Amino acid sequence: MRRAYHSGVVIGFSSIGENEKWQEFSLVILCPSGHHDESHNIRIMKVRSLLRAMLVVPLIIRMMPAQAIDRETFEPNFLGELPVILSASRLSQPTRDAPGAVTVIDSDMIRASGARSIPELLLLVPGFQVGAINGHQPVTTYHGLADNAPRRMLVRVDGRSAYTPYVTSGIEWQKLSVDIDDIDRIEVFRGTNTVAYGSQAFMGTVNIITRTAAETPRMRLRIDQGENGIRDRNASLGYATDVLAIRLNAGEAQDRGLPGLADSYRRQKAELRAEFQLTLNQRLELQAGTIRLREQIGNTEPATTDPVRTQRSTLSFGQMRWSWQQADGDELNISYSHQEESARDAYTLTAADVPLLKLFPPLAHVDIIYDNDITRDDIELEHTVNLKHDIRTLWGMGYREDKVVSPGIFARSDALSYRSTRLFGNLEWRITPDILANLGAMAERSSADDIQISPRVGINYRLGGGQTLRVAAGKAYRNPVLFERYADMRFSEAVTNTLLRHTFQPAPDIEAERMRFRELGYLGEFNAIRTSVDLRLFEERTDDLIQFRSTDSPLNTALEASKAKNLGRATVRGAELAVLWRPAARTWLGINYSRLDIDSDSDRYVRSAPRASWSVLAAWSPTPRWTLSANHHRTGSMSWYRSESDQLPASYRTDVRLAYRFQLGPTRNEFAITVSNAGPHDADYLPDQKSGPVSHASLRVEF
């Protein structure tokens, strides 16, 4: 037989016997393109574990010609039957075996979207709502139930939590150091996943997985320039030997923000990733990064207590992950991360800003200080054990400590601490060749809460023909963040120390939010027509939702201050549908649809998510050099925990991108033009805050 093949390395699954062990994989080495005898150009290496396969791949890639590692030359038929995910139960599983619905956004989709930020990519996931308070502060939530600082979703970057439990928002997207070109894929677990990652994953998990350093080109440059002051620059260097691979990335991004707002920003970052092959079965990964942000904030209206100013903040982190693959297929992972963060935002109000100060002695003023300094330490152990040929289990434990110093937010000059410990486990049991059970639980305790146990049970039944039926149910908890429990924001006249305003007061006795959920899912993979269908029906009953309500200030009964209370109840029912037809790596058509119904005793919850939303993402490569892609998204009427007057009408967003790939000497290049928000001027956060079309051009050069 004679057939043409691309160069490359492919990792695929192999089944052993009737019970289909998961420990065996295949490394398929494809020799340079050409018509050769198939028996001499395809070599299959059986490896007893995925980790060992990953350890061998960088060594093989290093010995291959540069064109062999061009990921864009791979076609889907070389990538195995199904994508393997890690976000559902921490176990590596094909999507059909996961105990929940998972959307995978791969690197081709990321590039075709033309997105400059990760939140924009979540528009491709059914059930998500994405908006922008200003040009540098996006807000994202899954199934609503969110104000301008959503706190019920977890984001992880290569295993490191990006959740910030010490200030108002759960995720500060601008402080993610990852470069969008380095992302291998984003796994979005749709639904609560506290059983795997703790209470911060109350409404879902976004797991960002970057490419290994060995996959990084020797040099990559990207330049984005466009309207509205868009000016992004990024450079990446890669180096690899048989035992060491390194990636160094640095860049900056900036633009002028949304029309009519003072919200321009500049973001500078640098990141290092190193991978050491210590022995054949031991691997060490080190990552470190830093971010510097300069953001314009404030209100342009005259005589405001929130004047236009520049806020500066920095974040630095270091992360270590050690993996040991044992001879029997078991795997041990230990990770540790340390993070330091600071923000500087201070200004003074006088009688010109606050007329009330005219009643005080001369030189009366109010000092506003929102500075903060934060540290985080997080250590985790994870052990995968193969008990029998049809049973896998994973268990682990972790400890995290956050310390924050912010006198302006917590009315104290010493450090406020948040400590949490967790013990988790998941068991995967192949009951029959067609029935798979996932049983998991997380026990978590924070410094101010009792032990909370989140269980989950899932049953997956293979119907045949690439079709799987899934049933799952369980409970989940979300512990209050530091701001909800201890916020104490006071504003006093500096000369006389008279309290003028008490915005937030502490609520040390609030309890965890609770959820009971159940879902029915269908997943169909039809390889013959290169199509997948993912349908999820769900019910999420949440109780003791935390709301801020105004009440008399304990410092001055003439003043009112917001206080967190367990007052909310909401039941979210609905359906999500995702259909993807992908005949080639750079050609696909994806359709997402979400239908939500929220039953609650509060209108703010009912209005917090659209009843219906949908999106269409399409890409087409008429030739190997050209790719045209477009994304059209429609969000129904909703509001972000605001009054009825701020109810948003249905909004639309359309992004279009045209890319051309070409080669100059040893370089692989791509030039693209992207138009974001093409079409009507729609609002996604406030009715009068609208953004119109913005276009930018990008040039990517790889050596």
In percent, the amount of the chain with pLDDT more than 70 equals 88
pLDDT band of 78, cuts 50, 70, 90:
very low
- On whether the CB atoms of residues 136 and 295 are closer than 8 A, the answer is yes
Mean pLDDT along residues 607-630: 96
Q: Which residues contact 660 (CB under 8 A, 6 or more apart)?
A: 625, 626, 670, 671, 672
| CA–CA distance, 490 with 556 (Å, rounded to integer) | 11
- pLDDT score, position 65: 37
Look at phi and psi of residue 11 and say left if phi exceeds 0, alpha if psi is from -120 to 50, else beta.
Answer: beta
Q: Hey, where are the domains in the chain?
A: 2-69, 84-211+374-702
Q: Is the pLDDT of residue 59 over 60?
A: no
Q: Mean of the per-residue pLDDT values for the chain?
A: 87
| CA–CA distance, 141 with 610 (Å, rounded to integer) | 12
Range from 165-174, 445-454, 498-507 carrying the lowest mean pLDDT: 165-174
Q: Is the pLDDT of residue 436 over 80?
A: yes
Q: Is the pLDDT of residue 225 over 70?
A: yes
- pLDDT score, position 304: 83
pLDDT in tens, 94-131: 999 999 999 999 999 999 999 999 999 999 999 999 99
- pLDDT score, position 562: 95
Mean pLDDT along residues 72-85: 50
pLDDT in tens, 331-389: 999 999 999 999 999 999 999 889 999 999 999 999 999 999 999 999 999 999 998 88
Q: Is the pLDDT of residue 680 over 80?
A: yes
In percent, the amount of the chain with pLDDT more than 90 equals 78
SS3 annotation, 589-607: EEEEEEEEEEEECCHHHHC
Superfamily of domain 84-211+374-702 in the CATH hierarchy: TonB-dependent receptor, beta-barrel domain (2.40.170.20)
- pLDDT score, position 166: 67
Q: Please state the separation of Cα 202 from the chain's center in Å.
A: 14
- On whether the CB atoms of residues 141 and 154 are closer than 8 A, the answer is no
Reported residue count of the chain is 703
- This prediction has a pTM of 0.87
**Which structure tokens are listed for 19?**
């019970």
pLDDT band of 642, cuts 50, 70, 90:
confident
Query: What is the DSSP-derived secondary structure letter of residue 352?
Result: T
pLDDT in tens, 19-48: 333 333 333 333 333 333 333 333 333 333
- pLDDT score, position 82: 59
Nearest in space to 322 (alpha carbons), one of 373, 364, 288, 274 = 274
| CA–CA distance, 310 with 134 (Å, rounded to integer) | 14
- pLDDT score, position 291: 97
The residue whose two tokens read 């995978």 is 104
Mean pLDDT along residues 668-692: 92
Mean pLDDT along residues 224-253: 96
Q: Is the pLDDT of residue 179 over 70?
A: yes
Mean pLDDT along residues 520-547: 96
- pLDDT score, position 5: 32
